[in-house]
Each structure stands twice: as structure tokens, then as C-alpha cells.
Structure 1
Amino acid sequence: MNTPLRRLSMVVVVMFLALMMSATWVQYVRAPDLNNDPRNVRTLYREYDRARGPIVVGGEAIASSEPVDSPFGYLRSYSDGPLYAHATGYFSVVYGRSGIERAMNTELNGTADSLFYSRLQDLVTGRQPEGAAVELTLDPAAQQAAWDALGDQRGAVVAMDTRTGEVLVMVSKPSYDPNILAVHSSREVTERWAELNEADGNPLTNRAIAGNTYPPGSTFKLVTAAAALEDGLGIDEQIDAPDQLPLPQSTAVLRNFGGSSCSPTGTQTLGDALRISCNTAFGQLGLDLGADAVRAQAEAFGFGQELQIPTTVTPSYFPEDPNDPNTVLSAIGQYEVRVTPLQVAMLSAAIANDGVLMEPQLVRSVRGQDLEVIRETRPQELGRAVSTSTAEALQDMMVEVVQNGTGRAAQISGVQVAGKTGTAQTSAEAAPHAWFTAFAPADDPRVAVAVIVENGGAMGNEATGGAVAAPIARSVIQAVLE
């Protein structure tokens, strides 16, 4: 064989090898990812040929598949669609899946490895294959209470079981009805999708765990207080609390809410500083501790962690290397500090749980057609956020906030509530966000709550966390405890 033919043969062999490797890569290595991609419409067509498993809350199906006289075979429907939309997500022939519909897709469509023996039984018995039922941890009464209390205001509410990490409430507003995306008409779905994406307030965004994170405002003072306690400061020790705190390397000053004075003497105890939410005291405390110490404490509470509950949670953030003036602002939950409402609920839950941070979970169990438990979620510890003694000190301080401080609106007759208010500045033009986080009962904690009302809700610039968000948290706590 002459040289040109030999070279051509080598090129052809290399091309065949490249083609074979490419086909193998796509068909075997990338196949699971491509099958699970919500944009893969062919997978959805196949899935519509079998009954998709229900999503269950409180023993009732909030998402189910009904047989229809259509080439698709089954239609997905959602009872109380807007109430649970950001938990269930949508299942659309055009836009794929989101929420639990996406995170638990293989269980719901019956193709998960854990359902192998169920599929084998279907093959042997001739039974029509069906997906598994996914039971969520949500408390229907508390979910409804949060929905009603938030009303027409934008924001989110999250509640957790302090002992197990189970998510009891996940409400985000504005919401949407996933039923309008589940219809089989591609034209109609496309139109509704365009309307949702153009709607004011981005209703498709789950504000509780994802999307645009928020400045936590004064709720972050719990982190700064925890860092100070871990550093050896006591509740009753005096700390600086000036009327104004000059920001280092700057002509600007930090003032207290409404320009008020925290103490006529310029000092106060750490407990009193948290009770009245003194900005200058915590700003100075953050400067004394240093950014690294505050960041380490934030990370111990879960900041920066990439969580799957099993839906994806946007990590909360503390700035990497703030200078001194920005350290002051970061210590009071401003500058570039950003959180999800879930993270703020985790903060209170860890304090309530004697300093142990539990992994949040939205799925309780997966059950087969005969209701046998195929998989059950067990409580998992993420780590210790603070020592037991620090947690007990923070518990006492948060009780004072509700009994005698800025969180009085969260008081419940016969139940001791521990909490922390927050009012987070966003810009000079916009009204501040109103925050409240709490746990109860304080002497035997069962539930932790975080509430954010964007831009003060109905009260606008007059809003505070104590006035706007605390009553919502109170309603949720009452619903859980009842």
C-alpha cells in the first residue's frame, strides 16, 4: 500500500474511533443526565404513557395523574395548586419539570433503582406499571396558616421541625397554578408560560429556598452574638453601644433604627443589645471579633453549603474579605450578606436544638403501589453550630426579645416564644424588607420559623420586622402546635 492510501486509511480509522467514542459517550455516560433533563420532551412523552405517582401531604394527594382520552394517556393535576406550587413544581410537556416533580422524577415515574423489584413484579403479574408516591413533610394546617397570614404581600415563610429538620412550611408569594402548565396543548402552555414570565413579581421563583437571596438585616445579629459568646463574652457583660458608630476609613457613621439611642451611658449588656436590636453595639462587636470569626460562625450555621432537600437550595453568603467598614455593616446583616428564608429558619432551629444543626428535608418517604415504604428519610445532623452553653444563652436572649423587646407581636398566650426581628435595607429608593425568625415552645422547642415580607409589604417604609413579619410567624407557630 502506498503512503497516501496508508495515511487516508489511518484518518478513516481515527474518524470511526472518534464516532464510536462519541456515540458511546452520549448513549451510556450522558444518558442518565439527558433522560433527566427537564427539556427532554421525548422522555416526557414516554412518561405520559404510565400513571405518575402522587405527591402526598398530610395523607392527601396534592399532585396526581388522571387517565384521559388523549395520545398522552394521563394528565397531571394539582389540588390547591398555588398553595403548594413551589414545593411540587410543575410537570409540563413543553417545559419539563421543576420542584419535587424534578428532584424525585425517577421515583414518580417508576424508573428509580429502588423500584426495580416493583417493576419486576409488574412484568410477571401483568400489572400496569405506576410510579411511586412521594410523601412530603409539609404540615397542611401550618402551610395554609402561612399562606393566609402572608396574604397579598410578596415574600416567603419557612418552618422546620427543630428536632428532625423536616420542612413543615414552604410558602412563596406571588405564586402560580401548576395546572395551567400541565395541559396537553403546547400552544396554551406556551402562552401561559409567557404570561408567568412577564408577570410582576416573578411567580415561578421559589423565594423560600432559591432565586434572589436577601440581606438578613438584624436577624443576622444572632450569628454575631453567637460568635461573641463562643469567644467568651457573657450575656450580662457590657459592650459599647454609642448613638453613632463612625465607620473606619470613612466619614460615614452607623446609626441605630430611627436615629434612636441604645443607652444613655453608651454601653449596655449583650442581652439588652439583642433585645432592642442595637445596630451600633453589634457593628462594633463585629469589628472587634473580625470578619473571619463572624464568617466562620455563619458557615457553622450553614452559610455556603449546597443543600438538596431534595430540591436545590441556593447557598447563603457572607462576604469573602470585607474591609473594616464593610465588616461593621456585615455584622448587622447588611453589605453583601445574603440569605434564603430557609437558612434563617435553620439558624433558629440550631439554636433551639442546643446548637446542633439538622439537615433540612422536604421528603418524608417514598411508597410503592401497595403503600409499602421503599425509602424513608431519617434525621441527619449537619454539624454543631455552637456549644450547648452558647445555644442556651441565645435561647434566653431570644425569649427576652419576644417578652420585652422588639418581637412582642409574636407572643402567644400559654406558649413561650423565642425570636428575633429584622429590618433589612435594600436601597435608598425601596422600602426595607421585614424579617422575623423564632422557635417555640422555648422550653421544649418543636418548630422554628422564618418570615420575610419584601419591602415592608402593606406598611412600606413604616414597616418593621416586629410589626409585619412577627404576627405571620405567630400564626404559623400556633398552627403547628395545635
Structure 2
Amino acid sequence: MWRKRAVGWLFISLTGLVLLLARLMQIQLVETETFSKHNVNLLEESVKQRTQELVIDNGRGNFLDRNGTMLTYKKVSVLVLFPFLKKMDWEVDKVADITAIPVNLLKSAVEGAKKPFAYGDPEPVELSSSQMEKINSLKIPGVFAIEKKFERRDVPAEQLIGLTGENAKELQKRYPNKDLSEKTLIGVSGLEESFDEFLLPEGKSKLVYHVDGGGAPLFGINVKYVDPANPFYPVNVRTTIDKNLQQKAEELVDKYQIKKGGIVLLDIQDNSVLAMVSRPTINKKDPYNGAGITNVMLKQQIMGSVFKTVVAAASIDHNLDDPTRMFDCSKKINGKPELKYNYGMLNFTDSFARSCNRTFGELARELQKKNPNLLEDYAAKLSLIGSVGWQGDIYHTSDFKQLPAEDKGRVFMSDEARKDANFAAMSGIGQHEVRATPLAVANMMATIARGGQKEMVRAASKIEYKNGTTMVNFDQKDLKGDTISPYTAMKLQKLLREVVLNQNGTGRWFKELPYEVAGKSGTAETGKFVNGQQLHNKWFAGYFPYQTPKYALVAVNLDVPDNAGGVNLLFADMVKVLYENDNGSE
């Protein structure tokens, strides 16, 4: 009996041992790079236990402004020190003399270090090229002067550029056939997300040395430089942003305390984004949540009287702009007395300059009788409906969109509303269901300034390889669909300029600016109330210089009381900044 038990226990033990050996073989030989449900790379983890390293460049691609300046990161020449220096007698006095860092601070930093570090990080001491050369000429083991890539604390155009983060599930979902560490950064929003596939790292550049269990050098004090050594990667995405103008725009938006809203500035010549500011800002403590991650400039907003530009275009083409016709601007759209904005009798041009609701309500009704689709047709001709961001086929990606988070504008939401005369009148003044993004409004102004030619808006001009050669060009592209005629565009140009020149025009505040401005104001009721006060969206959209258009600019302040939160000063100061920038003065 006891023999059977012994044989049974022996069999169980041998079976367990075989299973254990099989599992160890599976782990050591088969699942070395994808251990457990978390896909842990055991080889990498083993190497990490035996090495200490300083990452010089995380390998992810970079965003540059139009002049080649890095936007999301900055490269800084720094002093790198390794912790094994604490066990050596090294020439700390010479390093101190070159860097002007006191000896006691250098020694203290090394004593407290458990891994290699850039001195002063997160605000590292920046070295000159001469200092770098002198330090490296000392050839002290564990002391290096290198150029290291640091993430900027404040990223210009942060909502446009977007955020990155670690998300193993999303990484696997996006790139099931790529061999990537689950710690790989991926784009979460903005251009970081839309260009993510191009920005993925080939590998990190780092300084590495091997250590034993106690952290002492394992193979002496030789430090190795590890680099993917690919001359083409990481790539750079050259945006159309002008970093200097972007920072000035952000300063002005904050100066005028815009809590929700911002600025869109376009270069009319190549129809690209020079600056884009969105508020509220991203919450640095919890960046992936909250309203700040949303780019308000790409979200549809109630636009108010700015939409009268569309009604004016349709009216011109359908002969409703008779200069002798007078409109009763002492009345509201519904025929009741207009007490606040009683302008008396005005013709078409003065009605546009003073933004008379009665005039454009009547015109919208008349257009609707001619054809219920006219308002939408002209909104489309002026690029307010549909996406305006650059899209097309590039490289191996079809229908690539630079701005996939961009909302599409609209005039009506139903056929019933489209055929209702009262809804048409409200739509004629940019209320009811009319919506457009600030980017689309800026593009409308650029379209008019160009004589009716409507184009896609670019936020990036090209993708460059690491060696500076071009991988992909984002050429200028026309937006599909019908356009307004050059004649209609010319008439709109004169109307927009009259808004500024007319002594009672809603843009008269801009008459004395160094650049001649043409544009349209808007104050839209939002239907939201705070403490019994109706909230409004305040707009001014325009272009300049009038005779030789160069810039299209939209300033918008959202959800503010009627007696507060104007955008005239913001718009005016941005025009002044651009004039000073163009003429070399500050």
C-alpha cells in the first residue's frame, strides 16, 4: 500500500516538475517579449535591472513652427553626471570652474543621485558651446556635456498641437502589427493625434552604463551611447504656426481675460494658420480631462451678425441690394419697435455697416421664398458649411485629415425649419440653428479677400525626415463646391470695409489702425443665462490690409454678458502686433 502511495506521490511530483520546467521554458524562450496579459518585455526588464540610463531623446517626432523652431520640445546643452562619481576622486574643481557651478553643489547633487541626471533638471543649467567643448575635453568618466531634448512646460498653441500619453490598449488597437513598448507615447488630441503614425519612435537615444545589484559599475565605468542610428527618423512636422506671433496672440487673449474663446489668424496668401489660441487653457494637473483640452476654435459656435455676410452675398447675386431701397431699422424682425438699436431708415450698405437686424431678416425671408436652400448654398460657397481643414491622400494614408476634430457648420437642422419664413429671418441674423467654427469664419474672410477663391486651411506644410529632406508636402488645395463670383467678392469687400469707414459702423473703432481693416462684427444670443443675464458670443472677423490682403483674423469671446467681454480691443491690438512685426518695430 505504501509503495503505491510513494509511486503516486513520485508521479505527482514529476508531473509538477515537468509542468514547472515547461512554464519556465515558455517564459524564458517563448514569451520573453510578451509576458502576461500586460505584454511585459522580460528582456527589457532584465536589462533595466542591470543598467542605469539617461534618455537624451525619447525618439518621438517633433513639431516645428514655420521657421523651424521646435514647439513641443526644446534642446538644451546640459551637464550630465553619473552617480558612480560619488565613489571616485574626480576633477570636480575643473568642472566647477568651467560651468560656474559651486563645487559643493556639484558634489551634493552627485551624492544624492541614484541614476544619471542633467544638472538642475527640471530647470537645467544651460551650457554654451565653449563650455561643452571644455567639459568634454576633460574626458572625466561619468561627466558629459550633451544636447538633451526636454518637454516644454508651456507649449504654444497647446490645443492645436495636442497632448500625448501612455495607453497600452489604444496603442495595440491603433497599431496591432507594430512591435512597440506599451510605454510608447501616443497622440491623444490635436495634431499629436492626427499625425501620430508618423511620429512614433524608432527608439530612444540614451547614455547607458551597467551596474551590479548594489548599483556599482559592473564592467568598469564605461558609458555607452545608444541610438537607433536611423538618419531618417524621428521625423519633424513643420507646422504653419509662427511661434512669435502665436505667443503674442496668447498674451493678448490673456490680457483681455478671455475665459472662453480666442483667436484664429490665417495667412491669406497660402491659407495657413499663423496663430490659433483657444481658452480655457489645458489644466496642467489633469490635462486629459476638463474643457481645456477642447480646441474651441474648431467647435461650432452661434455666430450672430457675422452671418449677415452670407445673406449679403446671396442678396447681391439675386438683385436684392438695390441702393435706393430703404429698410425700416426702427423695428425688430417681428415688427415691434426697436428701442435699443433704433437706426431709422437705412439702405442696404448702411444696414450692413450698422448691422441692422430688420434688413437682413427681411432679405433672408425673400431669399427663402425664391429658394429654401439659398442660405445654405451661399454658406457653403463661403466655406461655412463642411470641413475647411486640409485633407487628402498622402503617403500610404487615404483621406488624411490634419484637423479631424473640426466641427462642420450648419444653417438649418431640418427641412421644416428650412421652409419656415420666421426661422429664415432668425437665421438671416445668425441666430436659430446657424453655427460655424471660428476657423471657418476666418476662412470665409480669407475667401472674400482672395476674390472668391476658397481653399483648405493648412495647419502643417510638410513632414520632414530627420536629415531635413521632405517626406510629405501638404500643398495648397481648393475646397470643393461652388464659389462666389469675383464680382460678388468685390461687392462684399466694399461692404466689409464700410463697416469700418462708416461713422456709425460697428467696426468704426478700427478706422485709425496702421493697417486698413475690413470686417464684420457679431453679437449672438446663446440662450444661456447667469444670474438672470442672457449670455452672448462676441465676434469680430475681418481681413487686412484692405488693398493688399495678407491676414484674416477672427477674435471671439463666448458666453459673456452683453455689457461685457467685447473683442474690439483684442482685435485691434493683434492688428498692431502684425503691423509692428511686418515693419520691424516693437
**For this structure pair, what is the TM-score category when the shorter chain's length is used for normalisation?**
0.7 to 0.9
Distance 1:463 1:288, change over 3 A: farther
Residue pair 2:160, 2:276 contacting (<8 A) in 1 also: yes
Which secondary structure state, in structure 2, belongs to the residue aligned with residue 92 of structure 1?
strand
The CA RMSD measured in Å over matched residues stands at 3.3
Distance 1:423 1:66, change over 3 A: same
Equivalent residue number for residue 353 of structure 2: 275
Equivalent residue number for residue 197 of structure 2: 106
Residues 53-103 of structure 1: per-residue CA shift (max 9 Å, x gap): 210013210123889979xxxx98543635321121011114842111111
TM-score, normalising length: structure 2 = 0.61
Say how many residue pairs are matched.
393
Distance 1:399 1:126, change over 3 A: closer
1:403: how far off? 2.1
Which secondary structure state, in structure 1, belongs to the residue aligned with residue 454 of structure 2?
strand
Equivalent residue number for residue 69 of structure 2: 60
The separation in 2 between residues aligned to 1:133 and 1:240, in whole angstroms, is 56
The separation in 2 between residues aligned to 1:477 and 1:462, in whole angstroms, is 28
Residue from 397, 407, 412 that aligns with 2:507: 407
Residue pair 2:540, 2:568 contacting (<8 A) in 1 also: no
Residues 378-436 of structure 1: per-residue CA shift (max 9 Å, x gap): 21111553111111111111111112211122345442110111111112623211100
1:205: how far off? 0.8
Equivalences for 1:212-231 in 2 at 5 Å?
213-231=300-318
Equivalent residue number for residue 171 of structure 1: 277
Residue pair 1:137, 1:166 contacting (<8 A) in 2 also: yes
The separation in 2 between residues aligned to 1:327 and 1:133, in whole angstroms, is 48
Residue from 367, 376, 385 that aligns with 1:295: 376
Residues 312-338 of structure 1: per-residue CA shift (max 9 Å, x gap): 211011114322111111000001111
1:246: how far off? 5.2
Which secondary structure state, in structure 1, belongs to the residue aligned with residue 71 of structure 2?
strand
The separation in 2 between residues aligned to 1:164 and 1:54, in whole angstroms, is 23
Residue from 125, 134, 152 that aligns with 2:237: 134
Residue from 353, 358, 365 that aligns with 2:450: 353
The separation in 2 between residues aligned to 1:357 and 1:224, in whole angstroms, is 18
Residue from 473, 487, 492 that aligns with 1:389: 487
Residue pair 2:411, 2:433 contacting (<8 A) in 1 also: yes
TM-score, normalising length: structure 1 = 0.73
Which secondary structure state, in structure 1, belongs to the residue aligned with residue 444 of structure 2?
helix
Distance 1:171 1:412, change over 3 A: farther
1:360: how far off? 0.3
Is 1:86 matched with 2:183? no
Structure 2 unmatched ranges of 5 or more: 1-37, 45-55, 81-114, 117-147, 171-185, 203-227, 391-401
Equivalent residue number for residue 29 of structure 2: none
Q: Which amino acid aligns with 1:192?
A: D
Equivalent residue number for residue 474 of structure 1: 575
The separation in 1 between residues aligned to 2:359 and 2:470, in whole angstroms, is 52
Residue pair 2:449, 2:489 contacting (<8 A) in 1 also: yes
Residues 7-64 of structure 1: per-residue CA shift (max 9 Å, x gap): xxxxxxxxxxxxxxxxxxxxxxxxxxxxxxxxx999xx9xx99611210013210123
Residue pair 2:278, 2:297 contacting (<8 A) in 1 also: yes
Distance 1:255 1:176, change over 3 A: farther
Is 1:284 matched with 2:384? no
Which secondary structure state, in structure 1, belongs to the residue aligned with residue 296 of structure 2?
coil
Equivalent residue number for residue 203 of structure 1: 292
Distance 1:41 1:388, change over 3 A: farther
Equivalent residue number for residue 20 of structure 2: none
Is 1:232 matched with 2:310? no
Distance 1:109 1:262, change over 3 A: same
Equivalent residue number for residue 329 of structure 1: 426
Equivalent residue number for residue 209 of structure 2: none
Q: Which amino acid aligns with 1:421?
A: S
Q: Which has more radius of gyration?
A: 2
The separation in 2 between residues aligned to 1:473 and 1:436, in whole angstroms, is 12
Residue pair 2:71, 2:155 contacting (<8 A) in 1 also: no
The separation in 1 between residues aligned to 2:39 and 2:162, in whole angstroms, is 17
Which secondary structure state, in structure 1, belongs to the residue aligned with residue 520 of structure 2?
strand
Give the share of equivalent positions with the same residue, in percent: 24
Structure 1 unmatched ranges of 5 or more: 1-39, 112-124, 181-190, 248-252
Equivalences for 1:400-479 in 2 at 5 Å?
400-404=498-502, 405-427=505-527, 429=529, 430-456=534-560, 460-463=561-564, 467=568, 470-471=571-572, 473-475=574-576, 477-478=578-579
1:305: how far off? 1.5
Residue pair 1:359, 1:382 contacting (<8 A) in 2 also: yes
Residue from 219, 243, 247 that aligns with 2:330: 243
